[in-house]
Amino acid sequence: MNIENILQNAVIGAIKELYGADVDAPQITLQKTKKEFKGHYTLVTFPLLKISRKNPEQTAQEIGAYLADKSPVIAEFNVIKGFLNLSIASEVWVNLLENINAQPDFGFTHVTDDAPLFMVEYSSPNTNKPLHLGHVRNNLLGHSLCEVLAANGKRVVKTNIVNDRGIHICKSMLAWQKWGNGETPESSGKKGDHLIGEYYVLFDQNYKAELADLQAKGLSKEQAEEQSSLMQEAREMLRQWEANDAETVNLWKMMNNWVYTGFDETYREMGVSFDKIYYESQTYLAGKDEVLRGLKEGLFYQKEDGSVWADLTPYGLDHKLLLRADGTSVYMTQDIGTAKLRFDDYPINTMIYVVGNEQNYHFQVLSILLDMLGFEFGKGLVNFSYGMVELPEGKMKSREGTVVDADDLMAEMIETARETSRELGKLDDISPEEANQIARMVGMGALKYFILKVDPKKNMTFNPKESIDFNGNTGPFIEYTHARIQSILRKADEQGIEIPATLATSIQLSEKEEGLVQMLADFKTVVEQAGTEYNVSLIGNYVYDLVKEYNQFYHDFPMLREENTALRDFRLLLSKNIALTIKKGMGLFGIEVPERM
Percent above pLDDT 90 for the chain:
84
Q: If you average pLDDT over residues 23-45, what whole number do you get? A: 91
Q: Quick one: pLDDT at residue 399? A: 44
- What is the pLDDT, as a whole number, of residue 506? 86
Q: For residue 429, what pLDDT is reported?
A: 78
Q: What confidence category does residue 33 fall into, taking pLDDT thresholds of 50, 70 and 90?
A: very high
Condensed to tens digits (0 to 9), the pLDDT of residues 467-486 reads: 888 888 999 999 999 999 99
432 pLDDT tier (thresholds 50, 70, 90): confident
- List pLDDT tens digits, range 355-394: 999 999 999 999 999 999 999 999 999 999 999 988 776 5
The sign of the torsion formed by the CA atoms of 337, 343, 345, 346 equals positive
User: Please, what are the domains in the chain?
Assistant: 3-88 (3.30.1360.70), 164-273 (no CATH), 410-587 (1.10.730.10)
Contacts 24+ apart (CB under 8 A), 445-448: 445/475, 445/476, 445/478, 445/479, 445/586, 445/591, 445/592, 445/593, 446/413, 446/417, 446/474, 446/475, 446/476, 447/136, 447/409, 447/410, 447/413, 447/475, 448/140, 448/475, 448/589, 448/590, 448/591
For position 428, what pLDDT does the model report? 79
Q: 509-556, pLDDT tens digit by residue? A: 999 999 999 999 999 999 999 999 999 999 999 999 999 999 999 999
Band (pLDDT 50/70/90 cuts) for residue 397 is: very low
Mean pLDDT of the chain: 93
| 345: Cβ contacts below 8 Å, ≥ 6 apart | 276
Please report, as a single letter, which amino acid is at residue 211: L
pLDDT tens digit string along 242-299?
Answer: 889 999 999 999 999 999 999 999 999 999 999 999 999 999 999 999 999 999 999 9
Proportion of the chain above pLDDT 70, given as a percent = 98
